Amino acid sequence: MRAEISRRSFVKGALIGSAGIALAKANSAEQRADKTGASAESQLPKGRIGKMEVSRLLLGGNLLTHYTHSRDLRYVYNLAAHYNTDEKILETLAVAEANGINTVVMHNPPHPMSLLRRYRKERGGRIQWIICPTAPVEPDMVKYRREVEELVKDGCEAIYLWGVHADALTNSDRIDLIAKAVEVPRSFGLLSGVGAHSLDVIKACEEQGVKADFYIKTFHHHNYPTGPKPDQLSAPYNEFPGYWCRNPEETAAFMKQVKKPWIAFKTMAAGAIPPADAFNYVFANGADFVLAGMFDFEIAEDVKIACEAFQKARNRERPWMA
């Protein structure tokens, strides 16, 4: 006959079982972290932007802020938002660090910024921030300076002018305002860069002596099924979904004469170009760093690909500027 189970013995057994399961999960998680992190951290090459040591692969903030670029696939935005919960974002930052990625790049919406602060204060995260304020760039710089000051107080390591603003200011021939925006972070002792979708921004900054410490410029080839067709290339960069580097050959050629670090972004054209294809193209054709939006489960493999692409491009034509 089966022995009678008392309420006390049942609860005790359940607690022991739960603790065992929890311990097993913790050990498994620790083993996974060791397996994906320790060796990759030493393998992922780094470069220098001023006083900052930056991993050659940087974590893009679009998936963390839910500003996903998915062309006409409207459901992807909500899908990413449901997957990347607050806890998942914190996990993603930890996975990036475990794999040797030491810098995240994004703009500054309030809630994602609060998660970056939480990651540092609650989780002991050390990932560096390169942030672009989205405040308007106006002659008095009051609103822009206010956001820069907030980022300085948060411990942000570097700031750059949002590419959306830089494109518009260049189109309206207000390079003077780009220069003023660049000087604001510099006045606090921070590295200060310029973002751009249009190559005209970089050309104007170089021609007029804007004192940017680095550039963040879109860069990818057009050899993918939804890439732009010749008759589309004269339109504004944002009128045709699926590409953000209108002139990759011209970009690569011009950047050969630019003596500043270049972080390439939109390198996979919102997922249309596989990482290996994208990273090899970007490094071989002159970029010093790759900025990539990645889900947590993509990071380890992308780090491996970035390491291999960097090694292949060591003797490329454009000198390494970082």
Which residues is 46 bridged to in the sheet?
55
3-state secondary structure 18-67: HHHHHHHHHHHHHHHHHHHHHHHHHHCCEEEECCEEEECEEEECHHHHCC
pLDDT in the model for residue 40: 47
CA distances 266 to 52, 238, 239, Å, are 22, 13, 16
pLDDT in the model for residue 237: 59
Per-residue pLDDT tens digits for 281-296: 999 999 999 999 999 9
| Regions of the chain short of the pLDDT cut 70 | 1-42, 236-243
Q: All domains of the chain, ordered by start, with CATH?
A: 45-312 (3.20.20.100)
The reported pTM is: 0.86
